[in-house]
Amino acid sequence: MGISLDEDDLWQYVEEAHTGIVTTLTKDGWPVTLPTWFVVRDRRIWFRTPAKAKKVHRIVHDRRGSFLVESGDAWTELKAVHLRVELEVVHDPDALEAVAAALDAKYARFRAPASRLPDATKAHYRNEVVVRATPVGSPISWDNSRIRLRTAP
């Protein structure tokens, strides 16, 4: 057995992950990597971000990016999926509503109540857009728990 995940296991792992790491590219080609909460719909990654975020400007300039989920502390626990993706700001109202509902269902218990947020924070997140990350090419995955270590003699 190899350490790579098959397609179904890979997507199940991604769907169950809590935080994803999305990378976008600056105009001069340098990567910017940031954490995001996300959901999976139709084997695509969806997340929200403030409309005025620099991330949105980078996506509009260059749709290439990557998305990573990972877990594990000990070497034999390390597990990850890395996807090359095309990023797109989505304007379809039905998709926006469905993604918002899915994000709320996944993360409601992790959010601070809006009533406790400072006004500046509320204003920052008031106008959000939804981004879709569509995988391109073959994913890279590994699950070191699949490695069977030899027992000591």
The pLDDT score that the predictor gives to residue 150 is 67
Amino acid letter for position 3? I
* Segments of the chain scoring below 70 in pLDDT: 1-2, 122, 150, 152-153
This prediction has a pTM of 0.90
Q: Give dist(CA 43, CA 54) in Å, integer.
A: 26
The pLDDT score that the predictor gives to residue 125 is 72
Query: Which residues are 80's β-sheet partners?
Result: 70, 142
The pLDDT score that the predictor gives to residue 148 is 74
The pLDDT score that the predictor gives to residue 116 is 82
- Going by the DSSP 8-state scheme, the letter that residue 75 receives in this structure is G
The pLDDT score that the predictor gives to residue 142 is 93
Q: Is 71 helix (H, G, I), strand (E, B) or coil?
A: strand
Q: Give dist(CA 5, CA 115) in Å, integer.
A: 42
Q: Which CATH superfamily is domain 7-145 in?
A: Electron Transport, Fmn-binding Protein; Chain A (2.30.110.10)
The pLDDT score that the predictor gives to residue 2 is 67
The pLDDT score that the predictor gives to residue 11 is 97
Domains of the chain, by residue range, sit at 7-145
